[in-house]
Chain A
Amino acid sequence: NAGVTQTPKFQVLKTGQSMTLQCAQDMNHEYMSWYRQDPGMGLRLIHYSVGAGITDQGEVPNGYNVSRSTTEDFPLRLLSAAPSQTSVYFCATHGDRGADYEQYFGPGTRLTVT
């Protein structure tokens, strides 16, 4: 049981390039989210999904796309990378147990855009 996995762990992009950050979970959770964390800051929600085929925007969605075709996977796509997207990206997941749930976070992807 790997929990939440993210790939790659590190990535360097040039401005204008596109890429996809991968997130996978083997916990059979409905809910998955993407956050970014800039230096010295808390996490900010980018996009989230309440189940396969359903996604919605968080606080900072611009420049990112998501899709959820399976329960297990929730990829985050950067359409045209910008230096402002240099950050650490965390994927998280949790189940549906009403009010009592905890989010499980992946180890993060450290992205640098030059």
Chain B
Amino acid sequence: DAKTTQPTSMDCAEGRAANLPCNHSTISGNEYVYWYRQIHSQGPQYIIHGLKNNETNEMASLIITEDRKSSTLILPHATLRDTAVYYCIVRGFGRGSTLGRLYFGRGTQLTVWP
């Protein structure tokens, strides 16, 4: 699975958009980009994933560059409850022993301030 690089920390004003970048320059064609977040010391929570098209759900938007070497997670209107560590993970798909493995880095600590 490709490795990812994220900034250690970011902050954002409440109500503004939070844009969290992730570099994954070694991503291969069959690998998806996943985002999870971890609030305090709770279990990580799935946010969104994508392959090459931009994706949007009720929580966030995911923008993937055309060469797929980087992506940005966008929280359109950050709230104090979005303060968390955000993990960008790249992994392949398909049956077999690699399915189920998620490799977490240290992620980005996002702090939303009032």
The count of A-to-B residue pairs whose CB atoms sit within 8 angstroms is: 67
Total count of chain A residues near the partner, CB < 8 A:
33
How extensive is the interface on chain B, given as a class?
A: 20 to 34
Q: Is B100 an interface residue (CB 8 A)?
A: yes
From residue 15 to 57 of chain B, which have CB atoms closer than 8 A to chain A? 32, 34, 36, 41-46, 49, 51
B106 within 8 A of A: yes
Question: Do B99 and A31 have beta carbons less than 8 Å apart?
Answer: yes
A33 neighbours in B (Cβ, 8 Å): 100-102
Contact with A along B82-108 (1 / 0, CB 8 A): 000001000001110101111111110
A102 contacts the other chain (Cβ, under 8 Å)?
A: yes
Evaluate contact between A42 and B87: CB separation under 8 angstroms.
yes
Question: Within A55-114, which residues are at the interface with B (CB < 8 Å)?
Answer: 56, 58-59, 88, 90, 92, 94, 96, 98-100, 102-108, 110
Q: Does A19 contact B (CB under 8 A)?
A: no
Identify A96's interface contact among B34, B95, B103, B107, CB under 8 A: B95
Contact B104 A42 (CB under 8 A): yes
Residue-wise, chain B 57-98 has the 8 Å CB interface mask toward A (1 for contact) of 000000000000000000000000000000100000111010
- Pick the contact of B43: A45, A56, A94, A108 (CB < 8 A): A108
Name 13 extra pairs, CB < 8 A, besides A96-B95, A103-B46, A106-B43.
A40-B106, A42-B87, A42-B105, A45-B103, A48-B100, A49-B100, A92-B43, A98-B94, A99-B94, A103-B44, A103-B100, A105-B43, A110-B41
Interface set of B (CB-CB < 8 Å, partner A): 32, 34, 36, 41-46, 49, 51, 87, 93-95, 97, 99-107
On A, residues with C-beta under 8 Å from B are: 4, 31-33, 35, 40-45, 48-50, 56, 58-59, 88, 90, 92, 94, 96, 98-100, 102-108, 110
